[in-house]
Amino acid sequence: MSRHPLPASLASDAPDRTPYLRLALALSLGAAVSLGITRFAYGLLLPPMRDDLGWSYTLAGAMNTANAVGYLIGALAMSWLLKRLSPMRVLLAGSVLATLFMAASGFFTSATALLLQRGLAGVASALVFSTGGLLAARLGARQPHRSGFLLGLYYGGTGLGIVVSALGVPWLLERAAGQPHGWAWAWWGLSLVCALATALLAWPARALAASEAARPAAAAAVATSTGQAAGPPASRVFRMRDFAFALAGYAGFGVGYIGYMTFVIALLREQGSSPGAITLFYALLGVAVVASSRIWAGLLDRHQSGQALARLNALLGVAAILPALTTAWPLVIASGVLFGGVFLSVVASTTALVRHNLPPAQWAAGISAFTVIFAAGQIVGPTVVGLIADGPGGLARGLVFSALALWVGAALALRQRAL
């Protein structure tokens, strides 16, 4: 018998009543706001805004480059913020700001003002997405046997935002067709969705804050009583050079995936796809994002090296190039479903890589570094694809560039070894 028995509340065999599944699903609303709506809904709004405001593809792409610059600023601020505020407070504050900046985008037609709004929305997105990923990683650490699944659920929330956008934006555009700058109504409608999601995020934020406050003492007591330590050594610190190939591979992902998500709807319109077909394509892409949490959970749990990142990047390259090579509708649909089923799992794979190779105290630093690299890649992608699209070959050639960036990223990630 132990000389210092643990209190029942801290005993290792005490029942864990934490609603992991519901918490992960509620947290996923953060991913829905930060990426599914705040960033990716712009792909649906790009064609009517470009037609109405007379933009080139370069300027249209620059809007998402501005969003990525803002995302980079937010990512760089994460370490400073997390030293002063809890992740829960950063998550909720970012979601409120994202809601406000989405609404503001409907009040301007000036390219400069819209670039600023997209940049500010990017800052808010980084705060939401990064802190949500950190909280999901902590949640998954409590249930190692399904940590990949819980992480996937969080990132899969992006798909919910995409589905809502796919169904809501065309409906709003149709009803505002007779209004000047009717696309503004879509921005306002999406901001209301973000406001609702922000209100719902308050519950997991409160629940996790209370749980985090109680958890450390219990974990320390159990570790002391068993004399065991799990996971990477507590003394290990995050160093960029240790993750150099994974970071470079992730930069390729950032460059390649955002070009597809920014311009694929515009390409389908150019190719003559009907509004109903485009809605179906984008909705199926979003559904595939949600399903991806189950599809790739085992891969994320199994590999501690860059294998998962490399394989997923390679698949994305195949999905990105299909619409550039063919207008056959079954293959176009396959492109959207494959892309949706893979791209957010690439993000989850980097969180899993950090979790596998670093102790919990270093997760925030690791996730922040990958977020910065992600943002840097996204800065390059939209404007480069837009420049290519304004030249010979148009948008199809731009998506070829996106596919090549993804394949280069896959080759680099393949060289990342487990620590």
Q: Is the pLDDT of residue 214 over 90?
A: no
CB 23 within 8 A of CB 139: yes
pLDDT value at position 16?
A: 57
DSSP notation for 316-366: HHHHHHHHHH---HHHHHHHHHHHHHHHHHHHHHHHHHHHHHS-GGGHHHH
Rounded Cα distance, 241 and 247, in Å: 9
Residue 342: CB partners within 8 Å, gap ≥ 6? 292, 296, 312, 315, 316, 319
Check pLDDT > 70 for residue 108.
Answer: yes
pLDDT greater at residue 52 or residue 291: 52
pTM for the structure as a whole: 0.81
> Rounded to whole angstroms, what are the CA distances from 173 to 45, 165, 166, 179, 405?
9, 11, 11, 10, 33
Distance of alpha carbon 131 from alpha carbon 31, whole angstroms: 10
Phi-psi region of 227 (alpha: psi -120 to 50; beta: other; left: phi over 0): left
CB 134 within 8 A of CB 363: yes
- How many whole angstroms separate alpha carbon 163 and alpha carbon 286? 5
Q: What is the pLDDT of residues 258-300, one digit of tens each?
A: 999 999 999 999 998 988 999 999 999 999 988 876 777 777 7
Of 371, 337, 401, which Cα lies nearest the Cα of 82? 371
Specify the higher pLDDT residue, 332 or 367: 332
Residue carrying the six token digits 């997760």? 363
Given a contact cutoff of 8 angstroms between Cβ atoms, the answer to whether 395 and 267 are in contact is yes
pLDDT higher than threshold 50 for residue 219: no
Give the pLDDT score at 398. 92
Q: Which two tokens stand for residue 290?
A: 């949600």
- Cα-trace Rg, the chain: 21
Type of residue numbered 354: V
Could you tell me if residue 54 is left (phi over 0), alpha (psi between -120 and 50 degrees) or otherwise beta? Answer: left
Give the pLDDT mean for 17-23.
76
- The set of residues, in sequence order, having a beta carbon less than 8 Å from that of 197 and lying 6+ positions away, is 29, 30, 32, 33, 95
Q: Is 102 exposed, middle or buried (0-12, 13-18, 19+ CB in 10 A)?
A: buried
Q: What is the pLDDT of residues 312-363, one digit of tens each?
A: 999 999 999 999 999 999 999 999 999 999 987 888 888 888 888 888 888 8
